[in-house]
């Protein structure tokens, strides 16, 4: 550690489900930035805080179980610790090992590896409340003595122990000397390899650990970068000889876990005291049996989704009405200040109508994120993945693929990135190719708008749930069902492979922290607005311009007098394009205006609502009595039959099905290209999803029309 450098570089490391992210948020508060590791698309979270005038730059590393990486995201974490030059990262000054106090044996495996790196370390003993509930007492001082580093009791979600942890990080200067002792033959091999190491590229203690990894694995990883590739041919020959000798003894691959767990069990037995049977543990086990049972678990999963979508409709109403009123007031205010003409039309009909049409759906998006955050913080998401493994295994995937698919309900981009945790290439690729079929938050405004405009407000199931909520649930279910079918086809054809074995640790149940879930909800909601805002703004201005021009003074006078934009819109550049593609979309029940909106939304799905806001509000004189976009859609009529409504139930369902299955997101395709290092798979995804969406939308329109006429 550089004592003259006031800023300390701190790595936050731990197993998944140890509360590491909550601890990170508690340490840095809102002072955090999100970016990608250099040369990789894996997200990194970096935050800053100060303690007694010293700045701590904390990086939240991806969760992992061992410094033997098995997936791309684990490789990044290992690179940062062992070979920072590979990840283009500076050397860490301090490593904070986050432990789940209720599961010390499993957590300490990674910690013992870190303690051999020669880097100052601090242990954060998190989730102590769960251990206490299980009547488990831990001697913190004795644990600290056994590990040779400070141990601080923390509770990230309640911000307990945070000041003490910052103090321990700021004062960390002692390098742990803890070293796990291996068998005689293994120790001899490690000593031989260490002696043969050519240059003093790393400290002696760290070099010993790297040689342990080199001896105990045949998998290519950062070990090669730091050990083998930088050594002489004599070292590589000595390493190969040591491997052969250990293979003959039969203890090479298993030598590390056997030695580490023997040492860990000895430490844990001396610092942990377990009390009588915990009745809360019995209740948690009973709850687990219910949640992961194929029958009862499926019922609970369906009930939770139904509750979620009912809440999306029921709870968001007042907030949506308020936002709609504010945008109407804003439009009326601008109209009263600016004379009629191109500038007023641009601001009112372009910007306000387009952006307002998206912002009004923010309450539903926030509710969706809030419920997902609650389920995740409670520990239910991992149970859902385990439950879905029964289904996923039948299509050649595993429950591990369901985790990225769950992430895709918020956005397909982090879902695709989360697939890095899948070790097998074909399984990882299949998961990435079906992730865009999950209904992301960008689709939610489309579903909400068309459901409200086209689906009757009726109560079903004895009045417990609305018909609109069931339609919304069916759209989300459609993506899941189609994704499963596509995965089965992919695994039977171009991505053949055996069904992987699903192994996942079920995290402990805990009461969700409303403050943390709310903070995450608002952060994700604002990220959605920021990321979509620029694109929506550009597209709505472009759509407005195409709908406004060409224009003549005579036409403008006529439109101002008649309070309609029908003639102008039909003769505009946008109208001409729409009429050109109408033969293609007419079989789906769409008119040329719908075709325009769908075509304009190919860069991003969320643009379609703003586009409809521009198309169906263009030229109207908005005031406090003006109807909203939903009512504009309800009142829309066909040009060739003014008595025939455009947005009927079959048409609404057809549009929603199209958006549920189409690949209208350039950002998703770009990330898919980065992850696969090829344009082949993004193009394949775009083609198959677009064709699938068109065919499904046509079938939906035909079947729904026939059903309603019978």
Q: Is the pLDDT of residue 346 over 80?
A: yes
Q: Where are the domains of the chain?
A: 7-171, 184-274, 315-360+515-645
Q: Determine the Cα–Cα distance for residues 526 and 658; give it in Å rounded to an integer.
A: 27
Q: What are phi and psi of 34, to 5 degrees?
A: -115, 130
Same fold, 7-171 and 184-274: no
Burial class (CB in 10 A: 0-12, 13-18, 19+), 707: exposed
Cα–Cα distance for residue pair 596/464, rounded to 1 Å:
38
Evaluate if residue 98 carries a pLDDT over 70: yes
The 3-state DSSP composition of the chain as helix, strand, coil percent (nearest 5) reads: 65, 10, 30
3-class state of residue 4 by DSSP: coil
pLDDT tens digit sequence for 539-550 = 778 878 887 888
Q: Could you give the CA distance from residue 397 to residue 547 in angstroms, rounded to a whole number?
A: 47
User: Of the candidates 511, 429, 439, which has an alpha carbon nearest to the alpha carbon of residue 472?
Assistant: 439
- Confidence band (pLDDT; 50, 70, 90) for 6? low
SS3 509: coil
Strand segments, DSSP code E, in 557-658 are: 637-638, 641-645
pLDDT of residue 2 exceeding 60: no
Q: Which two tokens stand for residue 150?
A: 């400070």
CA distance 134 to 426: 41
Return the DSSP state at 366: H
Q: Let me know if domain 184-274 sits in CATH 1.10.287.1770.
A: yes
Exposure b/e, 613-638, CB count within 10 A at least 16 = b: bbbbbbbbebeeeeebbbebbeebee
Residues 81, 63: Cα–Cα separation, whole Å:
13
Strands 136-138 and 272-274, by their bridges, are antiparallel
Strands 43-51 and 32-36: antiparallel
Beta strands (DSSP E) in 241-349 are 272-274
SS3 for 41?
coil
pTM score, two decimals? Answer: 0.62
Residue with tokens 């997200």: 43
State the pLDDT at residue 563. 40
What is the rounded CA–CA span in Å between residue 210 and residue 205?
A: 9
The b-or-e profile of 36-49 (16+ CB within 10 A means b, else e) is: ebeebbbbbbbbbb
Distance CA(275)–CA(289), nearest Å, equals 24
Rounded-to-integer distance, Cα 357 and Cα 543, Å = 14
**Residue 166: which pLDDT band, with cuts at 50, 70 and 90?**
very high
pLDDT at res. 700: 96
For 386-407, letters b (16+ CB in 10 Å) and e give bbbbeebbebbbbbbbbbbbbb
Among all chains, which residue has been given the structure tokens 């694109």? Answer: 535
Question: Once rounded to an integer, what is the mean pLDDT over residues 511-528?
Answer: 76
d(CA 416, CA 431): 8
Could you tell me if 590 and 533 are in contact, meaning their C-beta atoms sit under 8 angstroms apart? no
Q: What is the pLDDT of residues 433-471, one digit of tens each?
A: 999 999 887 788 889 889 988 988 887 766 677 888 889
Q: What DSSP string describes 322-346?
A: HHHHHHHHHHHHHHHHS-SSHHHII
Which of 244-253, 663-672, 691-700 shows the lowest mean pLDDT across its residues? 244-253
Nearest to 434 by CA among 483, 494, 398: 483
Query: Which pLDDT tens digit goes with each residue over 8-64?
Result: 889 999 988 788 888 888 888 755 554 443 444 455 678 888 888 888 889 888 888
CB 151 within 8 A of CB 125: yes
Q: Was domain 7-171 assigned CATH 3.40.50.2300? A: no
Q: Do 344 and 334 meet the contact criterion of CB atoms below 8 Å apart?
A: yes
pLDDT of residue 504: 64
Q: List Cβ neighbours of 190 (8 Å cut-off, separation of 6 or more).
A: 182, 208, 211, 212, 215
What's the distance, CA 38 to chain centroid?
20
Q: Are 340 and 348 in contact (CB under 8 A)?
A: no
CA–CA separation, 80 and 87 (whole Å): 6
Taking alpha carbons only, the member of 81, 82, 88, 83 closest to residue 61 is 81
- Residue 648: predicted pLDDT: 93
Query: Are 502 and 398 contacting, i.e. CB atoms less than 8 angstroms apart?
Result: yes
Residue 583 preceded by cis peptide, ω within 30: no
Closest CA to 470 of 479, 459, 483: 459
Largest CA-CA distance found in the chain, in angstroms, rounded: 97
Predicted pLDDT at 370 = 85
Q: Cα–Cα distance between 242 and 180 in angstroms, integer?
A: 19
Average of pLDDT values for 503-516?
73
Q: How would you list the strands of the sheet with 151-153, edge to edge?
A: 32-36, 43-51, 54-60, 7-14, 94-100, 121-126, 151-153
How far apart are alpha carbons 97 and 150 in whole angstroms? 11
Model pLDDT, residue 532 = 60
- Peptide bond between residue 402 and the one before it cis (omega within 30 degrees of 0): no
pLDDT for the residue 437: 94
pLDDT digits (tens, 9 = 90+) for 50-85: 888 888 889 888 888 888 776 667 777 887 887 665
Report the first-to-last Cα separation within the chain, whole angstroms: 78
pLDDT in tens, 198-217: 444 445 566 667 666 666 66
């Amino acid at each position: 550690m550089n004592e003259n450098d006031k800023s300390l570089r701190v790595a936050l490391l731990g197993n998944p489900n140890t509360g590491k992210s909550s601890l990170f948020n508690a340490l840095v508060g809102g002072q955090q930035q999100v970016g990608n590791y250099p040369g990789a698309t894996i997200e990194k979270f970096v935050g800053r805080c100060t303690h007694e005038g010293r700045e701590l730059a904390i990086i939240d590393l991806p969760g992992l179980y061992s410094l033997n990486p098995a997936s791309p995201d684990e490789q990044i974490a290992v690179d940062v610790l062992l070979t920072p030059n590979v990840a283009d990262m500076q050397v860490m000054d301090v490593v904070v090992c986050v432990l789940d106090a209720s599961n010390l044996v499993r957590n300490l495996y990674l910690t013992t590896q870190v303690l051999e790196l020669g880097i100052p370390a601090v242990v954060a003993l998190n989730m102590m409340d769960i251990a206490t509930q299980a009547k488990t007492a831990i001697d913190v001082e004795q644990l600290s003595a056994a590990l040779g580093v400070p141990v601080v009791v923390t509770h990230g979600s309640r911000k307990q122990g945070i000041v003490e942890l910052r103090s321990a990080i700021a004062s960390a200067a002692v390098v742990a000397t803890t070293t796990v002792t291996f068998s005689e033959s293994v120790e001899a091999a490690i000593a031989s390899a260490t002696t043969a190491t050519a240059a003093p590229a790393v400290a002696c203690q760290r070099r010993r650990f790297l040689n342990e990894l080199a001896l105990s694995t045949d998998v290519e990883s950062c070990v090669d970068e730091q050990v083998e590739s930088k050594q002489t041919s004599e070292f590589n020959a000595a390493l190969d000889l040591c491997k052969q000798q250990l293979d003959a003894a039969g203890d090479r691959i298993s030598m590390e876990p056997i030695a580490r767990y023997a040492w860990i069990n000895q430490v844990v037995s001396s610092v942990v005291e377990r009390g009588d049977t915990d009745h809360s543990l019995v209740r948690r086990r009973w709850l687990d049996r219910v949640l992961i049972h194929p029958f009862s678990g499926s019922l609970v999963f369906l009930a939770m989704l139904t509750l979620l979508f009912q809440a999306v409709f029921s709870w968001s109403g007042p907030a949506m009405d308020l936002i709609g009123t504010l945008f109407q007031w804003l439009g009326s205010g601008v109209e009263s200040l600016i004379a009629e003409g191109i500038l007023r039309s641009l601001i009112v009909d372009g910007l306000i109508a387009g952006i307002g049409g998206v912002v009004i759906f923010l309450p539903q998006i926030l509710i969706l994120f809030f419920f997902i955050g609650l389920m995740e913080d409670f520990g239910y998401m991992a149970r859902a993945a385990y439950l879905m493994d029964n289904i996923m295994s039948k299509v050649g995937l595993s429950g591990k693929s369901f985790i990225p698919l769950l992430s895709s309900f918020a956005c397909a981009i982090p879902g695709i990135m989360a697939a890095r945790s899948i070790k097998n290439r074909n399984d990882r690729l299949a998961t990435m190719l079906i992730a865009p079929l999950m209904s992301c938050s960008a689709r939610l405004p489309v579903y909400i708008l068309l459901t409200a405009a086209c689906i009757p407000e009726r109560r079903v199931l004895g009045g417990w749930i609305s018909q609109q909520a069931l339609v919304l649930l069916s759209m989300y279910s459609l993506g899941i069902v189609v994704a499963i079918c596509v995965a089965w086809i992919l695994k039977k054809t171009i991505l053949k492979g055996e069904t992987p074995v699903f192994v996942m640790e079920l995290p402990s149940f805990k009461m969700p922290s409303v403050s943390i879930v709310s903070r995450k909800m608002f952060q994700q909601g604002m990220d959605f607005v920021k990321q979509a805002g620029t694109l929506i703004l550009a597209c709505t201005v472009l759509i407005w311009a195409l709908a406004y021009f060409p224009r003549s003074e005579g036409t403008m006078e006529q439109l101002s007098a008649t309070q309609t934009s029908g003639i102008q819109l039909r003769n505009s550049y946008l109208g001409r394009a729409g009429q050109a593609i109408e033969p293609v979309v007419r079989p789906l029940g769409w008119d040329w205006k719908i075709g325009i909106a769908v075509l304009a939304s190919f860069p991003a799905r969320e643009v379609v609502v703003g586009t409809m806001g521009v198309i169906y509000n263009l030229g109207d004189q908005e005031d406090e009595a003006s109807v909203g976009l939903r009512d504009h859609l309800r009142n829309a009529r066909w040009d060739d039959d003014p008595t025939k409504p455009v947005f009927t139930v079959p048409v609404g369902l057809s549009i929603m099905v199209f958006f549920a299955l189409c690949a209208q997101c350039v950002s998703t395709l770009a990330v898919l290209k980065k992850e696969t290092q090829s344009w082949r798979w993004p193009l394949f995804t775009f083609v198959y999803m677009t064709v699938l969406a068109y065919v499904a939308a046509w079938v939906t329109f035909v079947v729904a029309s026939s059903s309603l006429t019978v």
